Structure 1
């Protein structure tokens, strides 16, 4: 059944929850690349083809999948021959918060990209800014330690891991011309995304990652080693077993929290399991539900999509 573009999609009872669906959509570089340019105004095939080295087949497949998930409407704009444009729905346009937090994290924690990631200007104050995460209930600035995350009614681990994410290019394969490589290392395949989620929910020992994600031990070892190389986690001796280690998020890993919370918030808004949410966020010390918002770090004003100008960096 075609999604209601103005409402949420009801998921199957006992099936993939909002986290799995969200990671399946956003854990893909081409999807993010397409959405990034759509937010900036791309609607037609030629608009995207002019932006980078995407092939017709990849663009067609991704646009079809994103339309099926309710992020685009396919609208005919010409006849003989028939031609269509892809217009962001409310669901698709709502992805802007996720994109902003990804860009901000990459700009702070990753080596400079080539070409460089775009800069963000707040139209309200006219300044280039970095988005600050705030609580939508009380307006306070929020960091990872200020939020408690607990599994909700649909939050069972097997339901939270996407069946697959289109990822892992072969050597020489085309890749998006505007990449976010460190972000993709953290969420760009099903096991990486699952292990990252386990880290934010408190997993520290190897066995905990295997148990919570149901990932094969070789996968767990590979992903943990990759995160260590990336600088997102480090190891420390396990006090109970000197020959084992525990894992913890580094400042770089903790700083990824806004990406995680805005992805999950977006997913749970638009894809809802009948049992209830997969994750429940609470603002620590207040007792109220945590609903994230973005504010300009220059003037403090809450951001809206229309108040943000995405500007490429001049060569």
Structure 2
């Protein structure tokens, strides 16, 4: 059988970050992928699992198939009916989902009832993933990794168009599975501000320059991230009437999600100029690639050893 296929992006066009946020910065896409990891393959499987409409499911399955996460396979000929099988690209999204669920569980008081349980089949225990450097195995957090923009990392190429148009109105239904995560990566400006913060921006002008957003938008996103306790304002050391914004423990703890999303995107979507971001682990000096390990046995987590179990009381 042919090996995994990768997508080569258009020169000068959307980079891996834009494509990744367009795919994974959407609640319904994440819900569909979660259900697929729990065994959903046919259209009716998703309809039976939750309150998704036919129109939304059809559109999202089409987008995920076009992005290479599903393969549409005929399982019946008369009449022709299809099921959606996860590809290697789709199956490899599990570290992103596991990291999101762990962060939601840690920082959202009501998350436990709606999030799936994660069991490491090697040791048999429910686990919380820990992030380490793949090269040296040492723990890695936001302070242990330095990140810079790469050859395709221009700001204009990082804009996730799909997530910017994700909702046509505030009344639109969502699955509400990872609402805190979606506050951070579920819109173009939130994702841009979060990325700027992790790249070292602290002042209003730095955020505005890196985001390329109007001042009113920057002000609104800084206010919202402060309300969410992801950023904390501090007095400016040189100007009493200015403030700087710094990632809190909650904001820093989101780093594994970012690291896994970037690694997934840059693995499967290649810009001809080179990567959008380049990261180095300060502990060993090697290019940083994330690896998740079990907090119970320290064993490396693999797709084959991570069992996703439905949370009690899930719809469907």
TM-score, length basis structure 1 = 0.95
Match of 1:201?
Answer: 199
Q: Say if 2:150 and 2:276, in contact at 8 Å, map to a contact too.
A: yes
Match of 1:233?
Answer: 231
| Partner Cα separation in structure 2 for residue 314 and residue 22 of structure 1 | 30
| Partner Cα separation in structure 1 for residue 112 and residue 254 of structure 2 | 21
**Residue 112 of structure 1, CA deviation:** 1.1
Q: Say if 2:114 and 2:177, in contact at 8 Å, map to a contact too.
A: no
Q: Say if 2:105 and 2:112, in contact at 8 Å, map to a contact too.
A: no
> Cα gap change, 1:288/1:72 in structure 2, threshold over 3 Å: closer, same or farther?
same
Match of 2:254?
Answer: 256
Match of 2:51?
Answer: 53
| Partner Cα separation in structure 1 for residue 141 and residue 149 of structure 2 | 19
Match of 1:286?
Answer: 284
Q: Deviations over 1:239-275 (max 9, x none)?
A: 2221111000000000000000000000000001001
Q: Say if 2:235 and 2:242, in contact at 8 Å, map to a contact too.
A: yes
| Partner Cα separation in structure 1 for residue 214 and residue 31 of structure 2 | 31
| Partner Cα separation in structure 2 for residue 205 and residue 161 of structure 1 | 21
What SS is found at the alignment partner of 2:273? coil
Q: Say if 2:136 and 2:284, in contact at 8 Å, map to a contact too.
A: no
Q: Say if 1:133 and 1:292, in contact at 8 Å, map to a contact too.
A: yes
Q: Deviations over 1:193-252 (max 9, x none)?
A: 001000000000111111111111111111111111111111001122211110000000
Q: Say if 1:5 and 1:89, in contact at 8 Å, map to a contact too.
A: no
Indicate which of 23, 26, 35 corresponds to 1:25. 23
**Residue 161 of structure 1, CA deviation:** 1.6
What SS is found at the alignment partner of 2:126? coil
| Partner Cα separation in structure 1 for residue 61 and residue 50 of structure 2 | 15
**Residue 171 of structure 1, CA deviation:** 4.3
> Cα gap change, 1:71/1:137 in structure 2, threshold over 3 Å: closer, same or farther?
same
| Partner Cα separation in structure 2 for residue 312 and residue 164 of structure 1 | 28
Match of 2:169?
Answer: 170
Give the aligned CA root-mean-square deviation in angstroms.
1.5
> Cα gap change, 1:244/1:5 in structure 2, threshold over 3 Å: closer, same or farther?
farther
| Number of residue-to-residue matches in the alignment | 311
| Partner Cα separation in structure 2 for residue 149 and residue 137 of structure 1 | 16
**Residue 20 of structure 1, CA deviation:** 0.7
Q: Say if 2:38 and 2:310, in contact at 8 Å, map to a contact too.
A: no
Consecutive unaligned residues in structure 2, runs of 5 or more? none
Indicate which of 71, 74, 77 corresponds to 1:76. 74
What SS is found at the alignment partner of 1:76? strand
**Residue 115 of structure 1, CA deviation:** 4.0
**Residue 285 of structure 1, CA deviation:** 3.3
| Partner Cα separation in structure 1 for residue 270 and residue 171 of structure 2 | 38
> Cα gap change, 1:5/1:224 in structure 2, threshold over 3 Å: closer, same or farther?
farther
**Residue 297 of structure 1, CA deviation:** 0.4
Q: Say if 1:161 and 1:213, in contact at 8 Å, map to a contact too.
A: no
**Residue 110 of structure 1, CA deviation:** 1.2
TM-score, length basis structure 2 = 0.95
| Partner Cα separation in structure 2 for residue 173 and residue 194 of structure 1 | 23
Instruction: Give the 5 Å matches for 1:144-163.
Output: 144-163=142-161
| Partner Cα separation in structure 2 for residue 40 and residue 87 of structure 1 | 12
